[in-house]
Structure formats: C-alpha cells, structure tokens
Amino acid sequence: MTKEEFEKNVSNPYELHSIVVNNHVATDRLGVYILGQTSDTWSDFFVQRVGRSDGDLNERLRQHAREKKYPEFMFMYCDTLKENFDWECFLYHEFDPSLLNNDIHPDRPEGKRWSCPNCDVFDNESNQ
C-alpha cells in the first residue's frame, strides 16, 4: 500500500451531505474514507479524520454528514475486510495520528486477530 496507490483509486472530494453521499457512494459496499476539507487553492485536501465501513460505506458517511463536523469527504471501495482494515490503518498512520480527530487506532473487524501493517498496536498477534 502506498500513498500513490491510494491517490490513484480514491474519489474526488465531495461535500459531506446525505444527498451528495447517496449520489456518489454505493450502498452495501466496504470502503475507507477521509474527512476534511480542500484548501483554498483546491490542490490539497486537509485530512481531519480517517475511517472505514465493513458493511455499508454509504450509511457510515451519511452518519458523519448528520454530525456536521466535516465539510468534505473522499472515499475508496475495498473488496475484502482485510483490505479494508489494512487501508484504514495505512491512512491512519499516513496522515499522522496526532493531527487527526480519531480517538484511537483503527480497531480490527470483530473476530479477527490481524496485526496492523504499520505498527505493533495489537502486539503482533497472529493473523487469522
């Protein structure tokens, strides 16, 4: 996983409103997202939060839209739970956890004992 790979596959920035989410994000899909805002020059996206949905990315983003904390979002679909988890961990570390509004390191999907590919937060427990 690389920043270049993410940039190649991530969506454009969109306003974080339920109608916009419904227009651009499929239901019942796994995926990761970043929340924040585009700079005044539209050349940079200032990431304030990263996350994922292991079931319905559309619904998760609409939850964030109702909170009205972030003006924009970008997203990327994933094909498997493992890919979804690994991408969220990558994004969490890529955008500097100390600058994000995420309270904790991304958790593993229920029942999985995967390690973070970027750190030893889970004490390098064996993969399942």
Q: What is the pLDDT of residues 17-32, one digit of tens each?
A: 999 999 999 999 999 9
What is each CA distance from 111 to 16, 102, 114, 127, in whole angstroms?
31, 22, 9, 11
The number of folded domains in the chain is 1
pLDDT tens track for 33-74 = 999 998 766 568 889 999 999 999 999 999 999 999 999 999
Query: DSSP code of 31?
Result: E
Determine the structural domain holding residue 20 and report its residue range: 3-99
For 33, counting Cβ atoms within 10 Å of its Cβ (0-12 exposed, 13-18 middle, 19+ buried), the class is: buried
pLDDT > 60? residue 114: yes
Any domain includes 127: no
Give the CATH number for residue 71: 3.40.1440
